[in-house]
């Protein structure tokens, strides 16, 4: 019986062991006769169980005893899991889940996305240089980058993209992302595009040689009146400083004495670039920002040269889309009382990331420090409640009435900080503007009387293509069949929103970016408030 119990201990299923016991039961009559057979069976079973334990239940790790539990788990999943799994995807999800335990801005970047991320930092990418939108199931060119590959090949706004490399791409089956992937490619390579142009019946074919496309940081720069200039800065990339410097020079030559710098919707970028741009507006040896990390000592960033606009009245426009480097610039100019901050509370990102390229060419963007404005403010909003709460914070601002009432703004840091002139400012949730402008909430919502924004956009662009003019109220009847509504049946707010969207979209189609923003700013409440303030200075 001792041998039988010994064998039973090696099986994971008692059923298997019990069956083995039954098969040996007849030997009880003559143990001497059955002993050789028993020993042979024991020997064979011992060999089989040894193989089972070494090659079946256990996985060899090549003698490496320092593997993490995660590596071991993945090895077992790869070898034993009931279904086939994509280990690379599983690893990525595991890393993403791990980083979510840290903060919302420490992220993993797949190798497919890393190139795109780096292009944003460098301010350029390789492609064909067009922007298109799907209008009534056909991709239609709404912007052509001047001097880019498509512009040189002869592509124009309003052209409909029917085929790419002789592959039909018109129709619902092709998404914008699918068409983009066909147009993208390495610089110097060619792509053949079939175009349907207004006024022509046959397709026109263009061969575009892909090339380097410069992504503008300054998307608008013009004089509002004889004294006030306007510059819209949409990102902080490696080219931003030079672009801003050039724009300031041109506006000064045009007589600029006062400036509106628009950072609304600017999600940030390179920290050093924000410091260099602050240098254009602050005198030398001014602290712009400082950073502190667990393993990184305090590092201070100062202005170091004479700027182009250190004197003269300045208004800085911000909103809830202004983040990171935008907030560094806004915070510094506010702390020194150099600019009047106009608009609504900024995003609230006060964490500094460093980007690392991993061995498989993927990337890790890891938070390594916090940054502080010259007065000592950290403007990072809370994130300890988790990613979902953090991501819904912007929506909560609207729900709490913050966009229409400055008094509803609640920051988490109650410490009083002081600007250079002694004004009290606070941290813990973004930059609060000096002059609050109520957001026109009549423009909120994804539809107007059941109309999707996509349909409105398509109608506006198609109108601009057909009539070559900016949409006005008198043009409503022309597109009512397309929209399938009666304008007279809309209420006042709906009419206002529809006309605003249609006129701005058609203006974008017909004008370049600079002229488009000039047109849009004529009715922009933030810009109008800034002009009002500057006219008094």
pLDDT range class, residue 45, cuts 50, 70, 90: very low
In terms of C-beta density within 10 A (0-12 exposed, 13-18 middle, 19 or more buried), how is residue 75 classed? middle
CATH of domain 218-438: 3.90.226.10
In terms of C-beta density within 10 A (0-12 exposed, 13-18 middle, 19 or more buried), how is residue 209 classed? middle
Q: Say which range, 10-24, 198-212, 422-436, 486-500, has the weakest mean pLDDT.
A: 10-24
Q: Which fold, 124-214?
A: Pdz3 Domain (2.30.42)
| Tokens of residue 17, six digits | 């062991």
Q: Decide: 130 and 122 in contact? Cβ < 8 Å.
A: no
List 160, 349, 381, 529, catalytic entry = 349
In terms of C-beta density within 10 A (0-12 exposed, 13-18 middle, 19 or more buried), how is residue 167 classed? exposed
List 319, 335, 434, 526, catalytic entry = 335
pLDDT tens-digit series, residues 103-139: 999 999 988 788 778 877 787 778 899 999 888 888 9
- Among 409, 419, 351, 357, which residue's Cα sits nearest to residue 379? 351
Looking at the chain, the whole-number percentage of residues with pLDDT higher than 70 is 86
324 assigned to active site: yes
262 assigned to active site: no
465-479 exposure pattern, b = at least 16 Cβ within 10 A, e = fewer: beeeebbeeebbeeb
Output the pLDDT for position 120. 74
Q: Is 274 in a helix, a strand, or coil?
A: helix
285 assigned to active site: no
pLDDT tens-digit series, residues 220-270: 999 999 999 999 999 999 999 999 999 999 999 999 999 999 999 999 999
Q: Decide: 59 and 71 in contact? Cβ < 8 Å.
A: no
Contacts of 442-446 with C-beta under 8 Å, sequence gap 24+, read 442/493, 442/496, 442/497, 443/497, 443/500, 444/398
Looking at the chain, the whole-number percentage of residues with pLDDT higher than 90 is 54
List 106, 134, 221, 324, catalytic entry = 324
- Among 404, 346, 405, which residue's Cα sits nearest to residue 377? 346
* Alpha helices for 184-270 (secondary structure H): 240-253
**Spatial distance between the Cα atoms of 365 and 369, rounded to a whole number of angstroms:** 12
SS3 content of the chain, % helix, strand, coil (to 5): 40, 20, 40
Name residue, tokens 């301010």: 123
Q: Considering only residues 69 and 340, tell me which one the structure prediction assigns the higher pLDDT.
A: 340
Residue ranges of the domains in the chain?
Answer: 2-57, 124-214, 218-438, 443-534
Three-state SS sequence of 280-326: CCCCCCCEEEEEECCCCCCEEEECCCCCCCCCCCEEEEECCCCCCHH
């Amino acid at each position: 019986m001792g041998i039988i119990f010994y064998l039973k201990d090696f099986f994971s299923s008692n059923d298997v062991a019990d069956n083995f016991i039954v098969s040996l039961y007849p030997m009880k009559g003559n143990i001497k006769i059955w002993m050789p057979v028993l020993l042979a069976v024991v020997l064979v079973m011992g060999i089989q169980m040894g193989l089972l334990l070494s090659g079946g239940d256990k996985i060899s790790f090549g003698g490496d005893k320092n593997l993490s539990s995660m590596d071991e788990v993945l090895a077992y999943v790869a070898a034993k899991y009931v279904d086939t799994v994509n280990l690379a995807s599983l690893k990525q999800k595991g890393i993403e889940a791990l980083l979510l335990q840290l903060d919302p801005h420490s992220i993993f970047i797949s190798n497919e996305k890393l190139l795109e991320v780096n292009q944003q930092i460098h301010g350029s990418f390789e492609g064909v240089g067009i922007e298109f939108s799907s209008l009534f199931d056909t991709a239609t060119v709404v912007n052509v980058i001047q001097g880019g590959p498509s512009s040189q090949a002869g592509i124009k706004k309003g052209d409909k993209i029917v085929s790419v490399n002789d592959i039909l791409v018109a129709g619902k089956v092709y998404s914008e992302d699918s068409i983009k992937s066909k147009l993208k490619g390495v610089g110097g390579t060619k792509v053949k595009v079939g175009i349907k142009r207004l006024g022509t019946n046959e397709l026109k074919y263009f061969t575009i040689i892909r090339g380097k496309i410069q992504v503008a940081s300054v998307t608008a720069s013009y004089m509002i009146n004889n004294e006030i200039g306007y510059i819209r800065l949409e990102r902080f990339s490696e080219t931003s400083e030079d672009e801003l410097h050039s724009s300031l020079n041109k506006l000064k030559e045009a007589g600029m004495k006062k400036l509106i710098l628009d950072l609304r919707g600017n999600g940030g970028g390179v920290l050093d670039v924000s410091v260099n741009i602050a240098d254009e507006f602050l005198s030398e040896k001014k602290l712009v920002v400082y950073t502190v990390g667990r393993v990184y000592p305090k590092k201070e960033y100062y202005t170091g040269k004479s700027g182009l606009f250190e004197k003269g009245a300045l208004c800085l426009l911000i909103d809830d889309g202004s983040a990171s480097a935008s907030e560094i610039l806004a915070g510094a100019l506010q702390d020194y009382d150099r600019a009047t901050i106009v608009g609504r509370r900024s995003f609230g990102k006060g964490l500094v990331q460093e980007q690392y390229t991993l061995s498989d060419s993927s990337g890790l963007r890891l938070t390594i420090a916090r940054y502080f404005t010259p007065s000592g403010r950290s403007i990072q909003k809370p994130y300890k409640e988790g990613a979902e709460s953090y991501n819904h914070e912007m929506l909560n601002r609207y729900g709490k009435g913050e966009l229409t009432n400055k008094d509803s703004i609640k920051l988490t840091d109650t410490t009083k900080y002081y600007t250079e002139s002694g004004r009290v400012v606070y941290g813990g949730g973004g930059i609060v503007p000096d002059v609050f402008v109520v957001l026109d909430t009549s423009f909120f919502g994804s539809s107007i009387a059941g109309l999707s924004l996509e349909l409105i956009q398509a109608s506006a662009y198609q109108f601009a293509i057909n009539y070559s003019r900016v949409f006005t109220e008198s043009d409503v009847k022309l597109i009512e069949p397309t929209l399938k509504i009666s304008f007279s049946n809309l209420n006042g707010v709906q009419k206002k929103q529809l006309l605003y969207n249609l006129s701005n979209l058609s203006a974008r189609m017909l004008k370049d970016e600079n002229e488009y923003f000039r047109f849009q700013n004529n009715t922009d409440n933030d810009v109008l408030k800034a002009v009002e303030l500057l006219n008094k200075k």
